[in-house]
Structure 1
Amino acid sequence: MRWIVVGNIVVLYFLIMSNAVFCQEKLMNIDFNGDLSDKKNTYRIFTQFEQPDQVKGVEGQAWRTDGFSSWAEANIDLSDTSEVTISTWIAIESYPSDIETTVDKLSPSSIINQRGNLSGFDIYINTFGQWGLWLGNGESDITLQAQSTFPLYQWVHVAAVISNTTGFAALYLNGQQVASINKPNQQIFKAAPSPLLLAKSHQDVISLEFELNRLNAVYDLVEIKPDITLPMEFIKEVKARNVSSINIQESLDVPRSRLASDHLRPSYHAMPPANWTNEPHGLVRKNNDWHLFYQRTPNGPFKTQMHWGHMVSKDLITWAHYQDALWPSLQNDEFGFDMKGIWSGDVVVQDDLAYAFYTSVNHGKRLTDYNPGISLAVSRDADLSQWEKLGPIINSEHVSDFRDPYIWIDDNQWHMIIGAAYGESGGLDYYVMDSIGDVTQWKHQKRFSSVPYEQMDIGSAIWEMPVFEALSEDVHILLVNPIGGKVQKYQDPSTRGVYWLGKWKNGLFTPFYTTPKPLDILVGHLSPTVARADDGTMRAIGIVDERRTPSAQKSAGWAHTFSLARRWFLMADGLTLGQEPAPENKALRNDKLFEKTAVVFPKTTVLLKDEWAYELLLSDVNLGQSPLTIEVFANEDSTETTKLIFNPLTNTVTLDKAHSNLSGNDEGPLLITGAYDRDAHGDIQTINVFVDGSVIDVFINQSAAFSVRAYPSKMTSNQLKLVSSSGLIHIGKAEVWALSTDELSRAESNLKTKITH
């Protein structure tokens, strides 16, 4: 990509490091005014993707970083320069990531730097938004720190002026001086024999194989010149650009081009635009909008410095992405009650207010610093876009550890359960509001369940993401996600959601059985968040987590997705949770690709080719004594295929991934079998399968469910087949629909994305 340049300089160009091709369209303006560049100067953008992201800039197109793999580099010689001005327009989506540590041990990212050992300059920014100008004169260094945190979600003009002639240096934001130093007749700056870097620190922070402290931002009009610019010129530049008229979302949206070629990325499942997500939580309705909050690292496909992401939908199908609701912050220069992360919780809407209860983690003392603690934030906005943190309200004094509050209101009494560890097992910490109307005051209760937690537990260290709701007037569901101890992701017992049904009376839950039931037939889906639809029944969305290596997640540029929305209901036996596709999902159906009625299929039948997003519905199924195999993500000869095996003889369902991925990127067991509760759900009569990129959601008899992941390496592995190992397949009706959200709705959704500042 060529640079448009002004002045006595050379024309620079981009070399895209991932595929070493030259692009000939304008990306943004870069000026090196004066004789600062040698004739061999090259300006390069590094990115792991096919091309750098291009978005709307202050002037034409701008360069958007991805937050973890991209940065820019130039060769520029300032050694003969006694005065220099550095400036750029920049919009930052989120503060850079870092290892979760105390402020004094952080390794900040950089907006722009040319830094060596005690030499050069660095306009730095850390994971809490603290920023400033660092200068080295070859023997010592100076730091000028701004007093306010750096603004997010808006175009701003950043500049630094440095003069060895006068010993003066200053840092400016939108033309206003935010920090300065004046040491007359002293050399405060010495050029560093290093490349000029954008969006990259001089010192990377590495965790596993991820570079954490890159910058998630958009750059335009970067300028370096060998003289001092007066503040009035900065102000003139800011006024002339009138950036308030620019739709900031057009700059900060992740371009679809970044992930467009990824056949494994889901198209109709709810998920963030890129990078890392985890549990959804706080699903809540307000003004007929569904608000979904979720765990998020906005800077890359890795887990650190948790944020609360926020997306909104009117139909559980098309989602608009809002700015993050909450992120770690400091209350003073060194400490913040949630500085180590905004972990999961719940949201309650009452009248015109919304209350976010979340797990806050810091580096302080366990109880006195509420580490961990349950903290509260409140929103008065109609669209829940702005939140005010009120601080911690509960500490973990009654348990060994806790996380993930869940709140419900019963007869005007507010109740809260928190997933907890008791040393010997997982369990719950239980509170009720101490006085009506005061959401900051809670009273601890001695017990929530009539059965001791150690008798209910499955060998875990702690319970996470509890849910407690009424399925009928007489039956409630308690769902938890035990982890740790004997419970691990890739062994038995596995990390998964489990539940009990029982009675709720006078603040006590009495389960109908002690040993919990699994939420899903197969492991792969967990931690659902729930809310009620207009019909009064529950809607649930969980996470379908990754089952591939960290290296594969890094290469993809995203990790984890959310499940298809489900409807929860009470089964006829009064002891079992029923789960079916939420009725809203029918709006996903486009063209019907296949339909046959009252048929007997041959031993192997190809139903579909060349589709990555579809729904299969088999009705009036008669398996008899023959297992049925549904192959998804299959190539023509099934050398790469993912098998779903429904066995009526053993009442089991098996996920066979032995040949699911030929590239070796799978992680975990390749053969997973789960018990099908025939007594509760009946003989298999309907099988409903939703396929989307790398996600498979399955419903049997529209009452039993599971969601799993598979990663076909071949672009041709997009066939759907039915296979019977013992003969013919008797099915009353087979239907297949292509699925997607409407493209017009997608476009409208993007325009509705809410960015405020």
Structure 2
Amino acid sequence: MKKLLISLFIVPMMLSCTGVKKENVNRSGEYMNEPWRPQVHFSPENQWMNDPNGMVYFEGEYHLFYQYHPDSTVWGPMHWGHAISKDLIHWEHLPIALYPDSLGTIFSGSAVADVNNTSGFGKDGEIPLVAIYTNHSHEKEANGDIDYQTQGIAYSLDNGRTWKKYEGNPVLDNPGIRDFRDPKVIWHKDREEWIMALAVKDRVSFYSSTDLKTWAFESDFGSGVDHGGVVECPDLFPMTTPDGKEKWVLLVSLNPGAPNGGSGTKYYIGDFDGTEFTSDWPAEKEVWLDYGKDNYAGVTWSNVPDENGSRLFIGWMSNWQYANVVPTEKWRSSNTLPRKLTLKEDASGNLFVQSEFVETLDKIASEWEKGNVLTVNPEEFPAYQYQMNVETNESSLFEIALKNTKGDKAIFLFDLEKGLLTFDRSNSGQTAFHENFTDLVTAPLDFGPVTEIEMVVDQSSSELLVNGGRLQMTNLVFPQELLNNVEVVESSQTKVVSSQVRGLKSIWK
């Protein structure tokens, strides 16, 4: 018999692991508390948000920029919204960082701390933050031109509070291709140069620069491969293997082309010599970072102090199939919880990317309480996480059902004999806003027995990690009230043996 660990973060509720009636906490009139507003995930105060951009750590602050339309809750002329955090859990909203200009609106990109002042933007020993982004000229696009996307830069000398665009923009002209965007820039320590990974239609193109202003083409990866969609939002970074060696990971977001429809992100593990990326497997192979419908365009923070070869990641928690029509009103879209990515090795010696929720989530949590039936006073601590232990074996069939008092439910079915995980949200609340929202979401359980499950459930989402993050599944839900009743439906080979719970406070208090 194998022990299966199940832990779920629930916000907010009174909780009983055996299904005793629970009530939602009434927080009407409070800040960031509209229907379905996430309480432990970042979301904009209002209007539309999509891809995370420009993530950089500098002088104790994690900067999160994001694609933002300040005049509507649907996609439109893109700006860079801005927020900061000291712990990746609590966020402070800041004014818009980058506005459209004569070269176009501001599409996705990245930001770096130019600690050596290679750009020359710094003065009197100041370290400039430099943003690298895509200008999208809607005017040129409307005229039928195809070279409407170029790359520009801006810099900040006050910890990212204000930004000045470089007078020499664009720093990388369009060579005559329709999709030419989303620059992710890193410092390559061996070459002592900047490397840009750029999404170029069906491939990732790599460029190099000594000063962030002049860029030279180096190589392509994935050219000619039918990815099932357009390549977007690449990210390239080194990681450390369990035996201490260096490998490189390339993230590639695709729209469409995801395993469960719409947009999704896959990754490659290989080597990068400063000029060319070589994958350990063919470019056609699909290894997905997240098998859920709603983790897209995620990238990692730059300039983070050494994390023993890991990286910090955040994604956009939506899907282009239905992002513009989900039923929120004041705002639209949120981010995944920040996650720590590490390289692990399976029993066959194959490397994979493991994902964990950041440890600072503990900062908003109460102490664990153990027992088979657990209730907590929501007036004292209006948010809860619980953990359940289950004994099972490899051939078991069991179900985790998230429910509420209105009859809404979202169901995870683990079929360990078939090696398949299925998520069904067809009866989870509001679903009629798009025909594909009720499609079954599946993921392969092809890595041996399931030994650990961890789940975060917020007002409109669930994030599931299996076996310590060997498998990820992130999905939106829009129930009539919080899915705050969780049941494990046992087979003859599955037995619930114990459970425990702890609280999580709203990050917006």
Task: State the TM-score, normalized to the length of structure 2.
Answer: 0.80
Aligned to 1:689: 455
Contact 2:148 2:178 in 1 (8 A): no
Shift of 1:551: 5.6
Q: 1:448 to 1:701 in 2, by over 3 A?
A: same
For residues 345-402 of structure 1, the C-alpha deviation after alignment (integer angstroms, 9 at most, x for no partner) is: 0001122111100010114557999621001101111x21110011211122064421
Contact 1:315 1:584 in 2 (8 A): yes
Q: 1:376 to 1:663 in 2, by over 3 A?
A: closer
Larger radius of gyration: 1
C-alpha separation in 1, matches of 2:360 and 2:183: 28
Q: 1:649 to 1:520 in 2, by over 3 A?
A: same
Aligned to 1:321: 93
Shift of 1:672: 2.4
Shift of 1:666: 5.8
Contact 2:108 2:183 in 1 (8 A): yes
C-alpha separation in 1, matches of 2:145 and 2:433: 44
Select which of 111, 126, 137 maps to 1:347. 111
Contact 2:293 2:318 in 1 (8 A): no
> Does residue 483 of the first structure (1) align with residue 250 of the second (2)?
no
C-alpha separation in 2, matches of 1:458 and 1:541: 23
What amino acid does structure 2 have at the position aligned with 1:641?
Answer: K
SS of equivalent to 1:561: coil
Aligned to 1:736: 501
Q: 1:689 to 1:413 in 2, by over 3 A?
A: same
Select which of 472, 475, 499 maps to 1:705. 472
Aligned to 1:265: 37
> Does residue 582 of the first structure (1) align with residue 362 of the second (2)?
no
> Does residue 458 of the first structure (1) align with residue 234 of the second (2)?
no
SS of equivalent to 1:587: helix
Q: 1:628 to 1:711 in 2, by over 3 A?
A: same
> Does residue 626 of the first structure (1) align with residue 396 of the second (2)?
yes
Aligned to 1:427: 203
Aligned to 1:100: none
Bigger drift between 557-566 and 726-735 goes to 726-735
Aligned to 1:389: 165
Aligned to 2:404: 635
For residues 191-590 of structure 1, what are the structure 2 equivalents within 5 Å? 257=29, 262-329=34-101, 336-338=102-104, 341-351=105-115, 352-365=127-140, 371-381=148-158, 383-390=159-166, 391-397=169-175, 399-410=177-188, 411=190, 412-421=192-201, 426-433=202-209, 436=210, 438-445=211-218, 447-449=219-221, 452-455=222-225, 457-460=226-229, 462-472=230-240, 473-484=245-256, 487=257, 494-514=262-282, 515-531=285-301, 532=304, 534-536=306-308, 537-545=310-318, 550=324, 553=327, 556-572=329-345, 573-590=349-366
Contact 1:606 1:722 in 2 (8 A): no
Q: 1:471 to 1:398 in 2, by over 3 A?
A: farther
Contact 2:203 2:220 in 1 (8 A): no
Shift of 1:719: 1.7
Contact 1:549 1:667 in 2 (8 A): no
Shift of 1:736: 2.7
SS of equivalent to 2:98: coil
For residues 114-263 of structure 1, what are the structure 2 equivalents within 5 Å? 257=29, 262-263=34-35
Shift of 1:735: 2.6
Query: CA RMSD, aligned part only?
Result: 3.0
Q: 1:364 to 1:266 in 2, by over 3 A?
A: closer
C-alpha separation in 2, matches of 1:337 and 1:716: 44
Q: 1:717 to 1:735 in 2, by over 3 A?
A: same
What amino acid does structure 1 have at the position aligned with 2:329?
Answer: A
Q: 1:623 to 1:466 in 2, by over 3 A?
A: same
Shift of 1:591: 5.4
SS of equivalent to 1:453: coil
Shift of 1:624: 4.4
Contact 2:385 2:504 in 1 (8 A): yes
Shift of 1:668: 1.8
Shift of 1:453: 2.4
Q: How many residues align?
A: 450
Shift of 1:428: 1.6
Shift of 1:268: 1.2
Contact 1:297 1:307 in 2 (8 A): yes
Shift of 1:655: 1.1
C-alpha separation in 2, matches of 1:701 and 1:413: 38
Q: Which has the higher contact order (CA 8 A, sep 6+)?
A: 2
What amino acid does structure 2 have at the position aligned with 1:559?
Answer: R
Q: 1:609 to 1:275 in 2, by over 3 A?
A: farther
C-alpha separation in 2, matches of 1:454 and 1:612: 52
Contact 1:294 1:308 in 2 (8 A): yes
C-alpha separation in 2, matches of 1:429 and 1:548: 29
Aligned to 2:4: none
Shift of 1:643: 0.9
C-alpha separation in 2, matches of 1:398 and 1:266: 41
Contact 1:301 1:558 in 2 (8 A): yes
Shift of 1:454: 2.3
Contact 1:565 1:585 in 2 (8 A): no
Q: 1:654 to 1:370 in 2, by over 3 A?
A: same
Aligned to 2:7: none
SS of equivalent to 1:257: coil
Aligned to 1:17: none
For residues 597-631 of structure 1, the C-alpha deviation after alignment (integer angstroms, 9 at most, x for no partner) is: xx8xxxxx999998995434345642443322222
> Does residue 658 of the first structure (1) align with residue 426 of the second (2)?
yes
C-alpha separation in 2, matches of 1:440 and 1:651: 50
> Is there any run of 5+ residues in structure 2 with no aligned partner, and where?
1-27, 116-126
C-alpha separation in 2, matches of 1:689 and 1:612: 18
Shift of 1:418: 0.7
Q: 1:707 to 1:363 in 2, by over 3 A?
A: closer
Contact 2:390 2:494 in 1 (8 A): no
C-alpha separation in 2, matches of 1:481 and 1:525: 10
Q: 1:418 to 1:512 in 2, by over 3 A?
A: same
Q: 1:621 to 1:503 in 2, by over 3 A?
A: farther
Contact 2:317 2:333 in 1 (8 A): yes
What amino acid does structure 2 have at the position aligned with 1:431?
Answer: Y
Shift of 1:324: 0.8
Q: 1:717 to 1:688 in 2, by over 3 A?
A: closer
Higher helix proportion (structure 1 or 2): 1
Of all paired residues, the percent bearing the same amino acid is 22
Q: 1:665 to 1:734 in 2, by over 3 A?
A: farther
C-alpha separation in 1, matches of 2:326 and 2:139: 35
Shift of 1:676: 2.9
C-alpha separation in 1, matches of 2:262 and 2:397: 25
Contact 1:466 1:481 in 2 (8 A): yes
C-alpha separation in 1, matches of 2:273 and 2:488: 49
Q: 1:497 to 1:570 in 2, by over 3 A?
A: same
C-alpha separation in 1, matches of 2:431 and 2:374: 24
For residues 112-155 of structure 1, the C-alpha deviation after alignment (integer angstroms, 9 at most, x for no partner) is: xxxxxxxxxxxxxxxxxxxxxxxxxxxxxxxxxxxxxxxxxxxx
C-alpha separation in 2, matches of 1:716 and 1:377: 42
Contact 2:47 2:330 in 1 (8 A): yes
> Is there any run of 5+ residues in structure 1 with no aligned partner, and where?
1-255, 330-335, 600-604, 748-757
